[in-house]
Structure 1
């Protein structure tokens, strides 16, 4: 009898461990399956507003349906929103110089203040006459205010030319790229009475050639409106509870880098975004599956895959303004962004712990001893939880850190630590379990980055900061080849402490300092490398 009593708990324990391992194996397999699809070339980088984003949204909606979630979008699981409305050259926009027909969008671009009209003339370089097309050398323009945008400088110059009799204005020999000028078309200034266009370097060289005598220019400008939309995917578990936990992750990424927010150097490579953020989306779906099958009925659960995050939290901002789930009932929000590169050295960062006093009770109770955790109190940051913090909802932000593949085409599925992602899934589930029997969490405001609303970033240093570093300055996690930091000799592990005369005490101070520079500027950057200080001269 004693022998049977001794074996019985052992057998139960063995069966329990086996069941747990089976559950974990299922979750692990699903995580790999989700990421493999979402980060595949077929989806072409899941850029907001593209067919690849729509394929991703359809996949996520299909998974939510299979799990048994209730659709809570405006069209089934889907909720669409406008990212931006602007203009682009219409099909009848044309320009030729002599016999050469130029390509709109690359060789020439109508400026946002251009009239939608046509002009032609025979132009002699360096000779601008009334009743003719004028050529304006941008490098020789009188820039009266170096802090004013170049788009406004072009507008002033074009107005002066038109008032002096120009029938059209062609700007050449500029520092702007075609992509930068194209972004100006999102602006909508009042048009001047004549057409105005920008031409690229190759056309500028033709206009500036030593043997240039004269050019017959024929141009016509027309615009068409454009509208770019994104899609959130929203599922719901209705437990008839009085409060709702919102779980989120963004699924959009950078496409081919068309929005110029990538760090790759190639012109036509897919940014698959396996860690950023197929990993968080995969974790979101698996947590939803576990919750649907659970007995955790003290809360309802809103499961939201956001788009538009890479462009500025568009999807989460829209959700908080147009949710079919009453945010007054929101208990808290958990956001997972880049949770696929867990390492023993960096561990897992959890942000937002200052947004409710309850986190100081919940987190210590469920934190696994074998997992290195670092905490940040702030409720705001560069991801979708910020939109919920702004609505006075407690938040947590899960993040395993940046790496050398961040915002590069090399962020691929094979580089993820899926066991680490499983650890994140289990920890989030345990947090929800712990909060299940508790009252609705109390919201607390936290510190916020002190960034002026007028800060502009017209340059980049080409570094990947370590967001988990909190020992003064900004530690570099990676340096992009060919960018200013790389050319100057800076390296991963360096800690930036000063840019020019401005001290860099944290990431916010770094961004403020960066916003004071423009293209062509030079400055000294002081870093700590180990116990030594080094100064590098950087040119933007």
Structure 2
């Protein structure tokens, strides 16, 4: 990467007006900061360098960067060497740029379930979704928790103790007399209503309330899951990756109405939580393979407010190899990955010129995004390198190298912004002003709508920060015909747009890092 010439020029420009001769006093630090022009450092971000790096990073050599596989290991080593070359240190000490993320790959398990002497078959009546340990237990009761919702406006756990117990819940969310969902007070679906997000939310609610097992009735999802899980079981292939539970997990099964009614005959119409006396014999063998993956972290320490951290993130993984074809993931998310490298170079150039950011910058490349936001979830929920209360904002970059073919209005020089105003009015205004001042990109908030059916706000790594009340911006160009296909290759990237969008992220980060006051959180976490 270019360094010396630009660094010299930047130093001359940034300091020539800020100092007098050796015989006179030097201007104050605040005066020097005031005249600093970030366009000097943004000029180190170029389409040429982005292209060179992306052709390497999204090449067949990296085998699609599947989490935990050879190509992903090559990818993290590539990133590490880039930071070493740029002389940007790691916050982990020595040359350890890797935050290890323990994962497990679980093969589909077959369960033996007997309720009051009657057996219920795997894949016909029940499916094992998650199991942290072997289960061989006889239960004399199970706790019914209605919809399994635990929200500030409504909770099925309010008057019942589920600690150390198996529970049963059903899909869906109740409505009030006016037809509004009870947690939101309007007709728009929430994270509790339906589908996979509902399943995940109810699992987390059960876990948070101390349950050790959840049997979840979902008649809509069950037929779809049953066929897939049975085929995986028959083939003996591994299931999806998950964070290693370390005994903190919960056994979770999806069940159909037949099994659910054997446990609670009135489950379809009944929503009252209660403990049900019944005899359940449950036997499941845990079939997991431990896998270690890595987040890559690099760090520039703030000059004035080092304990306040801005996290700039992108995911380093992709889909790997399927049916002999390599999924290169040039846009998703090679584009975000190389963008961070260029942004890091720009900040390092500023630091070497004596104008490092006031606040610290963490460059975070997360693993396992394609497997369920695993790397960012590990960082935010399990082992943050810096305390989350010290994290000012997260700028997350996921696909910024292409044009959305469905976008029929406006210019090609656009970017979709998601989440910028959901937690912080400050951050939204900083973003708008940085763009107006420096890049003049058309900012499109189409997918920022709370009612966006794509729910992109919940589908990339920024969400694991947002759910912890950390203001976020998600930079996104939209999907296209090559999304999650082997045809997402570097030759299809529009490098002039990638350069401009990368500069926008840099300028926004620059403003957040160097303003006097920390970004204010003035809104609650969006559900």
TM-score with structure 2 length normalisation?
Answer: 0.55
C-alpha distance after superposition, 1:487-532 (max 9, x if no partner): xxxxxxxxxxxxxxxxxxxxxxxxxxxxxxxxxxxxxxxxxxxxxx
Cα shift at 1:85 = 4.5
What are the equivalent positions in structure 2 for 1:39-438 lying under 5 Å apart? 39-73=58-92, 76-86=96-106, 112-113=110-111, 148-149=125-126, 178-179=231-232, 181=234, 182=236, 225-240=288-303, 241=305, 242-257=307-322, 267-294=323-350, 295-320=355-380, 321-342=382-403, 344-345=411-412, 347-354=414-421, 355-368=423-436, 370-375=440-445, 376=448, 380-435=457-512, 436-438=514-516
Task: Give the CA deviation at 1:361.
Answer: 2.4
For residues 299 and 21 of structure 1, the distance between their equivalents in structure 2, rounded to whole angstroms, comes to 19
1:136 paired residue number: none
Task: After TM superposition, give the deviation of residue 86 of structure 1 in Å.
Answer: 3.2
Q: Secondary structure at the match of 1:396?
A: strand
CA deviation profile, 1:205-241 (whole Å, cap 9, x unmatched) = xxxxxxxxxxxxxxxxx99751122210000101242
User: Does the aligned pair in 2 maintain the 1:87–1:185 contact within 8 Å?
Assistant: yes
Q: Aligned in 2, Cα 1:307/1:237: closer, same or farther, shift over 3 Å?
A: same
Distance 1:377 1:367, change over 3 A: farther
Q: Is the 8 A contact 2:44 2:346 kept in 1?
A: no
Shift of 1:39: 0.7
Cα separation, 2, equivalents of 1:392 and 1:22: 31
Is this contact kept in 1: 2:45–2:342, CA < 8 A?
Answer: no
Partner of 2:176: none
Q: CA deviation at 1:249?
A: 0.3
Do the aligned partners of 2:468 and 2:525 also contact (CA within 8 Å) in 1?
A: no
Name structure 2 gaps, 5 residues minimum: 1-12, 14-37, 113-118, 130-225, 241-249, 254-284, 405-410, 451-455
Q: Structure 1 pair 373/189, CA: closer, same or farther in 2 (3 Å)?
A: closer
Distance 1:146 1:253, change over 3 A: closer
Tell me if structure 1 keeps the 8 A contact 2:103–2:293.
yes
Q: Distance in 1 between matches of 2:516 and 2:457?
A: 25
Aligned CA-pair RMSD: 3.5
- Inter-partner Cα distance in structure 2 for 1:367 and 1:189: 46
1:79 Cα deviation (Å)?
A: 1.0
Q: Segments of 4+ in structure 1 off by > 3 A?
A: 19-26, 85-88, 111-114, 142-152, 174-190, 222-225, 377-380, 444-449
Contact 2:44 2:342 in 1 (8 A): no
Q: How many Å separate the matches in 1 of 2:440 and 2:413?
A: 13
Question: CA–CA distance in 2 between the matches of 1:319 and 1:238?
Answer: 19
CA 87–447 in structure 1, closer or farther in 2 if over 3 Å, else same: closer
Superposition deviation, residue 293 in structure 1: 1.3
**Number of matched pairs:** 322
Distance 1:85 1:316, change over 3 A: same
Displacement, 1:24? 4.2
Partners of 1:185 and 1:427 lie apart in 2 by 39
Q: Which gives a bigger RCO, structure 1 or 2 (Cα 8 Å, sep 6+)?
A: 2
C-alpha distance in structure 2 between counterparts of 1:319 and 1:77, whole Å: 14
Structure 1 contact 31–286 (Cα < 8 Å) conserved: yes
Distance 2:42 2:73 in 1: 30
- Would you say the 8 A contact 1:380–1:389 is kept in 2? no
Distance in 1 (alpha carbons) for counterparts of 2:42 and 2:252: 58
Q: CA offsets, 1:83-116, max 9 Å, x none? A: 224359xxxxxxxxxxxxxxxxxxxxxx6459xx
Q: Which entry has the higher C-alpha Rg, 1 or 2?
A: 1
* Offset of residue 271 of structure 1: 0.5
Alpha-carbon offset, residue 147 of structure 1: 8.5
Find the partner of 2:519 among 441, 455, 471. Answer: 441
Q: Is the 8 A contact 2:45 2:503 kept in 1?
A: no
Q: Is 1:37 equivalent to 2:56 in the alignment?
A: yes
2:162 aligns with none
- Inter-partner Cα distance in structure 1 for 2:252 and 2:505: 48
Q: CA deviation at 1:367?
A: 1.8
- In 2 relative to 1, CA 437–370 (structure 1 residues): closer, same or farther, beyond 3 Å? closer
Task: Give 1:406 deviation, angstroms.
Answer: 0.2
Equivalent residues of 1:82, 1:228 under 8 A apart = yes
1:433 shift after superposition: 2.6
What secondary structure sits across from 2:506 in the alignment? Answer: helix
Tell me how far apart the structure 2 counterparts of residues 328 and 22 of structure 1 sit (CA, whole Å): 29
Task: Name the stretch that deviates more: 336-345 or 281-290.
Answer: 336-345
Contact 2:111/2:128 (8 A) holds in 1:
no
- Gapped regions of structure 1 (runs ≥ 5): 1-11, 13-18, 89-110, 115-141, 153-173, 191-221, 258-266, 450-540
Tell me which moved more, 411-420 or 362-371. 362-371
Q: Is the 8 A contact 1:245 1:332 kept in 2?
A: yes
1:359 Cα deviation from its structure 2 partner: 2.5
1:404-459 residue CA offsets vs partner (Å, 9 max, x unmatched): 0000000000000111111111111211232212311122445746xxxxxxxxxx
Instruction: Using the TM superposition, give the Cα deviation of residue 353 of structure 1 relative to its aligned residue in structure 2, in angstroms.
Output: 1.7
1:21-52 deviation line (CA, Å, top 9, x unaligned): 99747622221122111111011100000010
* Conserved? CA contact 1:405–1:411, under 8 Å: yes
| Aligned partner of residue 52 in structure 1, secondary structure | helix
